Amino acid sequence: MNDAHPPRPEVPQLRTLLLTDLCDSMALVERLGDANAAELFKLHDALVLELQQRWRGRLIDRSDGLLLLFERPIDGLGFTLDYSRGLQALGTQRKLQLNVRAGLHVGEVLTWRNSDAAVQVGAKPLEVEGLAKPTAARLMTLARPGQIVLSAVAESLTHRAARELGERGERLLWKSHGRWRFKGVPTAQEIYEVGEIGNTPLRAPKPTPKAWRDIPLWRRPASAAGGGRPDRRDRGWRLVRHSPATGHCLRRARLGGGGGFAESDWRRCAGRLATTGLPDQPGTVALRQCPQRFESTRYAGADAPRS
């Protein structure tokens, strides 16, 4: 038989992966009934096919969500924006609230084609595997309804090419949600949100058992219980924690003695805040300013005439 040996994966390829989820799809089917839900999903599939051709995507799998591959990240983002808009329009026609959440990632994948005989009995024409696939899935599960969550590499490439979306690209909002850890992945990674003005939550994702925010040790609370006697881990944390970076900086700035607030002090404090994984925090932004600006501000009042 020709199918005695399983197909071998091709050479790894760099691709953009998009995973989407139609929010509350089970409740939607329950409310509409099977027949009406089937009619709705026919319109949904027609929308997906149209957008797939427009944005040069390859549909790999479909259930209550989609898995698509794209050559370029900006095509994946364009598809997602149009898909979200199309679902909202479809929901308005049917007096339904249809929201999608999406995860967009760029990484290497292995692909292979199943035989015609395998496809005839239910196999997918094209299989996709690789670490990029579960990574995109983690991003998608973090997203709130109506939210597009991107990995750092996907954000960098789509942000750079956003002008290709025309006027829509100028209306996009980009927000970092800090560093997160994914179960099974040793290193933390920064994640982002992108969406059109008025059409994206701009809220931090909700942690899941497989994805959580990377909080530095010195920022963790003394006791997760919120009261009561701290356990051994809490006492150990108190022994090794740093003093709060912002408090240290402000104390040095107010005292101003012993040579003032040196550039090395500034860099040390900035380094502490840079490890929080929260680049959108005001303190982090402030400490990235030029130290000379701080020094000039500090001494600006010294020569001013007193009233």
* C-alpha count within 13 angstroms, C-beta hemisphere, residue 32: 20
Q: Is 245 helix (H, G, I), strand (E, B) or coil?
A: helix
Question: Is 4 contained in some domain?
Answer: no
Question: Is 6 contained in some domain?
Answer: no
Residue 225 dihedral angles phi and psi, to the nearest 5°: -75, -15
Query: At which of 198, 213, 228 does a domain end?
Result: 213
Q: Looking at the structure, do residues 129 and 189 belong to the same domain, yes or no?
A: yes
Query: At which of 178, 213, 248 does a domain end?
Result: 213
Single out the residue of 154, 151, 153, 156 nearest to residue 177, CA to CA. Answer: 151
CA separation for the pair 157, 73 (Å, rounded): 7
Question: Is 306 contained in some domain?
Answer: no
Q: Looking at the whole model, is its pTM more than 0.75?
A: no
CATH number at residue 42: 3.30.70.1230
Round the CA-based radius of gyration of the chain to a whole number and report it: 25
- Alpha helical stretches, state H, the chain: 25-32, 34-54, 73-94, 116-120, 132-142, 152-160, 167-170, 232-240, 245-255, 263-274, 282-287, 291-300
Q: Looking at the structure, do residues 97 and 230 belong to the same domain, yes or no?
A: no
CB atoms within 10 A of CB 193: 23
CA angle 291, 293, 298 (to 5 degrees): 95
Distances (CA, A) of 68 to 22, 57, 79: 14, 6, 10
Single out the residue of 85, 188, 200 nearest to residue 146, CA to CA. Answer: 200
Q: Looking at the structure, do residues 57 and 194 belong to the same domain, yes or no?
A: yes
| pLDDT tens, residue order, the chain (307 aa) | 455 566 777 789 999 999 999 999 999 999 999 999 999 999 999 999 999 999 999 999 998 899 999 999 999 999 999 999 999 999 999 999 999 999 999 999 999 999 999 999 989 999 999 999 999 999 999 999 999 999 999 999 999 999 999 999 999 999 999 999 999 999 999 999 999 999 999 999 999 999 999 988 877 765 444 444 444 555 554 555 554 444 444 444 444 444 454 555 545 545 444 444 454 444 444 444 444 444 444 434 444 444 4
Number of folded domains in the chain? Answer: 2
Domain span at residue 243 reads: 217-299
Residue with the two structure tokens 């973090």: 142
What one-character DSSP code corresponds to residue 95? Answer: T
Question: Is 1 contained in some domain?
Answer: no
pLDDT of 26? 95
Question: Is 101 contained in some domain?
Answer: yes
